[in-house]
Amino acid sequence: MKIIIHGGFFSESSQSMATKIAKQQALRHVVKNAYDYLKTHTALETVAYAVEQLENDELFNAGIGSQIQSDGKIRMSASIMDGESTKFSGVINIENVKNPIRVAEKLFPTEDRVLGGEGATNFARAHKFEFFNPEIPQRRKEYEAKTGSKSLGTVGCVALDEKGNIATATSTGGKGFEIPGRISDSATAAGNYANSYCGVSCTGIGEDIVSTAVATKIVTRVSDGFTIDKAFEKTFAELKAIDGFAGAIAIDHKGTIFHLDSHPCMVFASFDGNTLDVFE
């Protein structure tokens, strides 16, 4: 059993050391809790559980603490994917829910598994997800000052369970001040993808991740026989060619945990029951 999580990017130039330490502690706590959960649950159940914990922490840009768009509203996106069945479900630009990943999870057994905007929000209400405003005072202050936040990226998780199944989940609160209706990578196969060979969750600039299909390419290359490090190397070379900004976490079917970023400040934590690795 293996698990890795990420919490987006950390900007050394704008965020205090206290914030960095707080994020490290939060990631340690979540990855250990999620690993304990994985002992008695599937990889698919575990990635939803881990991402829910990250959505509940305003240190990260997902769920509580999400960014405010240019019209003053918060819209969030999240997705979940099962490597064994290669089923994918997600919500795009959902509003006023606490945990978008749980709505994405609820869509998993349905026929129409990716919903956007009002349709996603209406589905949530129909399935007893209560109204919840994820805005925190700091985000409103940033919005009114038109400064934006330096809480870059998304949150995500990849898990490998005791049966060898891989699953991924990714959630984002957006980039802030975006045009309403913008689609991020988080609820697409470019940002969150898994099959029986590998699972990948991405963070960074969504347009760059979509342009280079980061998660899908890494997983496809591992499936085609690349080692996970070489799959990352080739994919990130293609990202560099467009001066892209992204990071990714992964686990392959052999249990290899891997992560890489184009700018070395992606916050992450991984655990295999013995070794804990955390962004320093």
Question: What number of H helices and E strands is found in the chain?
Answer: 8, 12
Condensed to tens digits (0 to 9), the pLDDT of residues 151-185 reads 567 999 999 999 999 999 999 999 999 999 999 99
Residue 34 to residue 180: CA distance in whole angstroms: 33
Using DSSP bridges, classify how beta strands 192-194 and 114-116 pair: parallel, antiparallel or unpaired: unpaired
**Whether residue 77 has pLDDT greater than 70:** yes
Residue 186 to residue 150: CA distance in whole angstroms: 18
The residues annotated as belonging to the active site are 154
Q: Which structure tokens are listed for 230?
A: 């070489």
Condensed to tens digits (0 to 9), the pLDDT of residues 11-40 reads 655 557 788 889 999 999 999 999 999 999
Is the model more confident about 113 or about 263? 113
Residue 10 — very low, low, confident or very high, per pLDDT cuts 50/70/90? Answer: confident
DSSP string, 229-252: HHHHHHHHHHHHHTT--EEEEEEE
Residue 37 to residue 162: CA distance in whole angstroms: 12
Contact 184, 174 (CB under 8 A): yes
Mean local confidence (pLDDT), 188-211: 97
| pLDDT score for 280 | 73
| pLDDT score for 148 | 58
**Whether residue 188 has pLDDT greater than 90:** yes
Condensed to tens digits (0 to 9), the pLDDT of residues 97-125 reads 999 999 999 999 999 999 999 999 999 99
Q: Which structure tokens are listed for 61?
A: 């840009």
Residue 210 to residue 82: CA distance in whole angstroms: 20
CATH topology of domain 2-278: Glutamine Phosphoribosylpyrophosphate, subunit 1, domain 1 (3.60.20)
| pLDDT score for 263 | 86
Contact 70, 176 (CB under 8 A): no
| pLDDT score for 5 | 98
User: What is the model's pTM?
Assistant: 0.96
- Domain boundaries along the sequence of the chain: 2-278
Average pLDDT, the chain: 94
Residue 150 — very low, low, confident or very high, per pLDDT cuts 50/70/90? Answer: low
Contact 188, 220 (CB under 8 A): no
Q: Give the orientation angle of helix 228-241 with respect to helix 214-223, to 10 degrees.
A: 150
Cβ neighbours, 10 Å, residue 243: 8
Taking CA atoms, 72 is separated from 63, 243, 273, in Å, by: 16, 30, 43
Cα 207–Cα 211–Cα 217 angle in degrees, nearest 5: 125
Mean local confidence (pLDDT), 239-243: 97
Mean local confidence (pLDDT), 252-266: 95
Residue 249 to residue 61: CA distance in whole angstroms: 17
Q: What percent of the chain has a predicted confidence (pLDDT) above 70?
A: 96
